[in-house]
Structure 1
Amino acid sequence: MPHTEIDLYEKPVSSNRLFEGKIINLRQDEVMLPNGRTVTREVVEHPGAVAVVPITKTGQVVLVRQFRHPVGRIILEVPAGKLDRNEKPEDCALRELAEETGFVANKLHKLTSMYTTPGFSNEVIHLYLAEDLVESDQRPDEDEFIKTEQYTPEQIRQMIRSGEICDAKSLVALCLAGI
């Protein structure tokens, strides 16, 4: 017999903040399961983020190459960044695009919003398509070392197939953008 949606909810019992950081917080929650058992859940709290698929007037896709410490390697990805406090996702998308690539978008289309890892984090990332780009000055944060590169859609598809483009936000955003 199928469960009703209400049968799936976990009821909060208690919550304990374990860590407060610059980007994330970590808490440990105790919840009651639908069957009455109590279990512990660890939750990474994140303010949210954006990712942008920039397409130039000539149809090239702009990507950034940067070292990602948590995975210990250089990753080729769409421009992305964390939302500032009270920042609208659209404003963040335009800001991150300009900072990381030096391009300003005259057209910005929302593709979707998605949870990145709902098993342990509340992070939501908002995905955008940026078009009608105008070149400006790249202004990465002082702790960002980024190389901007441009590829054709066919090159992008090949890099997805080969695994060179391998992070989830980029894969989803590029697919939703029709690349």
Structure 2
Amino acid sequence: MKTEKEKMLTGDIYQAFEPELVAERERAKAICFTLNQTCPTDREGRQTLIHQLLALEETVETDAWIESPFNCDYGYNIKVGKGFYANHGCTILDGAPVTFGDDCLLAPSVVIATAGHPLNPTERASGDEFAKAITIGNCVWLGANVTVCPGVTIGDNVVVGAGSVVTKDLPANTVCVGAPAKPVRAID
């Protein structure tokens, strides 16, 4: 029988308020709180906290930079390539893996949410939840206030315009805008 965490990580319906998951979210929230209270010029201190939050081994080097405030659910499901930058006010709900390629930029107030709930009100009220992985390619720029929904893949070199809502996969080398976001132009 799968644990609630195993169900979460495999995309099955799970109970998010199970004690192990609550404890793991509290760990991430405590690190986010400390990160959000750390002076922006304390680069070494902030890098240490980013390492802890993303559950990186000490031998793993990263140049990832996260501006405050930043919030996430678990942290350990967020994988970033080189050159990752998250601007102020970003939130990543990482019940499932969120994978970023190299040189990804998140503008202010981006929301990336792997979590969702059943449409059936009785199931939803019971605490049922699911999480679907999100993959973001290399050299992607998400504009201010972009929302990325569960299960989406965004190809390499994509620019998503401010305020867009990404509900479906977006092809590489495109500018995408709207709610839902759709390609409006190719990028050479």
TM-score (norm: length of structure 2): 0.24
Q: Which has the higher contact order (CA 8 A, sep 6+)?
A: 1
TM-score (norm: length of structure 1): 0.25
